[in-house]
Amino acid sequence: MTRRTLRRWKRLDPDEAVPRPGRPRLAPSVLAEARGLVLGELERQGWAAGEGPIHRALDGALALARVRFALRELKAERRAAHRRDTESRRVTITANARDVLWSADATFVGRTPKGCAVQVEVVRDVASTCTLDITIGEAATGENVVRYLERLAEERGTAPLVFVTDNGPQYQSRAVADWCEARGVLQLFSRPHTPQHNPWAEHGMRELKEDACIDKGDVVLDNDTVLARLEQARERLDGARLRATRGWRTARDVDQELPHWREITTRCTFQSEVACGIRLAVLKSDLGRESRRAVREAILGALERTGAITRTRGRPDRTAQVSDDDS
């Protein structure tokens, strides 16, 4: 018979009280006092302060272990409150038809042995999350963007209603603007330093690079080899991966089942809605930043009024497609 067995029997005996192992719990009043002292120092020194500065500032009023415990709880509560506030301001955009929104973005993936930068550019359909095109090479120009947009328009049978990009020089070039004007496509630019406004291509690029095991620090020996790896990753992601946000279907299945935007609205109707919204937005806004934000809201509002997209505020559910943070 070992002492461990006797202790176990003692714990199982309901007639005999067994003290809780370890140190006794502190009284709630003591914990509340410790939290108050630590909170006061955090507000005085800043929330980036660690246990060392706070313990020294309290000058022995609290043990280091108690400071550490209170600090961990207070910072965890502050982070949780920040997450709740961010989620409450999140706007989730759901595209209701294919080819409503095309999202494009470019990223640096490495350098050639001669030191030249190599970029990968991706175009994605927002409604189905299908990767429509992948290009690799030096930094793209406006003419390069027009070439792949024209090729995609022929393959898909139509140009999109809205072309979503960041503020890169290739997207703001005259060549892209002329092509969009000729095709009746509106350009939706992200606000500066706000990648959340173009998350579709950002997410697609990240998935492709992770699946193809491409790091931006790699030396790109052969563009054709890297492109082949990206195409294989694209085949797996679009043709085989089941998406929870798409009802556990693949992106290509969703792309075939979704209606086309021409079944929801017409290009003339949409552009009329946008023109009225932009006119009012520009008249009401004075600053350049506010004007860009108003134009962006006019385009999204016209898409929502025509039924091409749906916007919801708050934490997205499992059927949400993508988020666009207004903060």
The pLDDT tens digits of the residues spanning 277-301 come to 777 766 666 655 677 788 888 899 8
| Res 318: pLDDT | 47
User: Which long-range contacts does 77-84 make (Cβ < 8 Å, 24+ apart)?
Assistant: 78/47
Minimum mean pLDDT range among 35-39, 61-65, 167-171, 221-225: 221-225
Share of the chain above pLDDT 90, in %: 49
Angstrom distance (rounded) from CA 153 to CA 5: 77
> What sign for the dihedral angle of Cα 277, 280, 284, 287?
positive
| Res 247: pLDDT | 87
| Res 81: pLDDT | 94
- In this model, does residue 316 exceed pLDDT 80? no
**The 90-95 sheet, strands edge to edge:** 309-313, 90-95, 322-325
- Residues 162-167: what's their mean pLDDT? 94
For residues 54 and 74, is the Cβ–Cβ distance under 8 A?
Answer: no
- In this model, does residue 87 exceed pLDDT 70? yes
Q: Which residues are within 8 A (CB) of 203 and not within 5 positions of it... i.e. 6 or more apart? A: 322
- In this model, does residue 8 exceed pLDDT 90? no
Question: pLDDT tens digits for 88-138?
Answer: 888 888 899 999 999 999 988 877 777 777 889 999 999 999 999 999 988
For residues 122 and 104, is the Cβ–Cβ distance under 8 A?
Answer: yes
State the pTM of this model. 0.76
| Res 74: pLDDT | 95
Question: pLDDT tens digits for 250-262?
Answer: 999 999 999 999 9
For residues 261 and 98, is the Cβ–Cβ distance under 8 A?
Answer: yes
Q: Which residues are within 8 A (CB) of 79 and not within 5 positions of it... i.e. 6 or more apart? A: none
Q: Which residues are within 8 A (CB) of 144 and not within 5 positions of it... i.e. 6 or more apart? A: 135, 170
Q: Which CATH superfamily is domain 92-264+307-325 in?
A: Ribonuclease H-like superfamily/Ribonuclease H (3.30.420.10)
Q: What does pLDDT average to over the chain?
A: 85
* Residue boundaries of the structural domains of the chain: 28-70, 92-264+307-325
| Res 319: pLDDT | 44
DSSP 264-300: T--HHHHHHHHHHHHHHHHHH--SHHHHHHHHHHHHH
Angstrom distance (rounded) from CA 280 to CA 268: 19
Question: pLDDT tens digits for 35-84?
Answer: 999 999 999 999 999 999 999 999 888 999 999 999 999 999 999 999 98
Show the tokens assigned to 57: 């500032």
Q: Which helix (H) or strand (E) holds 83?
A: helix 64-89
| Res 178: pLDDT | 95
